[in-house]
């Protein structure tokens, strides 16, 4: 019963598809020979009726799959899109990178002291829900 589950057509086809996918990630000069080899193996094993022989050939396919997983270039295994990343709009341009941290523009001198002071007062006004902040100074 267990052998029958291992030899289901869907399991063999799933492994075959995965092998073909991994072959497509190989360099162009290696793709053709690997693809032809695996296609001929699958076609020659199509009419095997002995469960023991079929199981051995399926194991050989799984071994080939494991081998291809090892030799396939690392960059091809990315499951996410190659365009995935962090993008930021800066001055109307879409750039790749991280967002700026708070206060970085003032420390770098991008903002002048007057702009920083105006920004600070806007934040104070926001803190007091649109009203002017109290003008009391406390000296200790």
Q: What is the pLDDT of residue 86?
A: 79
The ranges assigned to domains in the chain are: 2-73, 102-134
**Which residues in the chain belong to E strands, given as ranges?**
87-90, 93-96
Q: What is the pLDDT of residue 7?
A: 65
Q: Could you list the pLDDT tens digit for every one of the 140 residues in the chain?
A: 444 444 677 888 888 899 999 888 888 888 899 899 889 988 888 888 888 888 888 888 899 888 888 888 766 445 555 556 777 777 788 877 776 666 666 666 677 788 888 988 999 999 999 888 888 777 76
**What pTM value is reported for the model?**
0.47
Q: How far apart are CA 100 and CA 67, in angstroms?
A: 44
Q: What is the pLDDT of residue 71?
A: 85
Q: What is the pLDDT of residue 135?
A: 80
Q: Which residues, 6 or more positions from 111, have their beta carbon under 8 angstroms from its beta carbon?
A: 105, 119
Q: What is the pLDDT of residue 140?
A: 60
Q: Does residue 21 contact residue 64 with C-beta atoms inside 8 Å?
A: no
């Amino acid at each position: 019963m267990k052998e029958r589950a291992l030899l289901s057509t869907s399991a063999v086809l799933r492994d075959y598809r995965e092998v073909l996918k991994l072959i497509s990630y190989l360099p162009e000069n290696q793709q053709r020979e690997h693809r032809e080899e695996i296609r001929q193996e699958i076609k020659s094993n199509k009419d095997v009726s002995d469960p023991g022989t079929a199981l051995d050939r399926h194991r050989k396919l799984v071994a080939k799959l494991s081998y291809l997983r090892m030799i396939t270039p690392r960059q091809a295994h990315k499951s996410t899109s190659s365009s995935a990343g962090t993008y930021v709009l800066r001055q109307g341009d879409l750039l790749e990178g991280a967002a700026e941290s708070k206060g970085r523009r003032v420390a770098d001198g991008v903002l002048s002291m007057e702009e920083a002071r105006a920004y600070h007062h806007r934040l104070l006004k926001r803190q007091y829900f649109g009203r002017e902040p109290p003008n009391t100074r406390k000296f200790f």
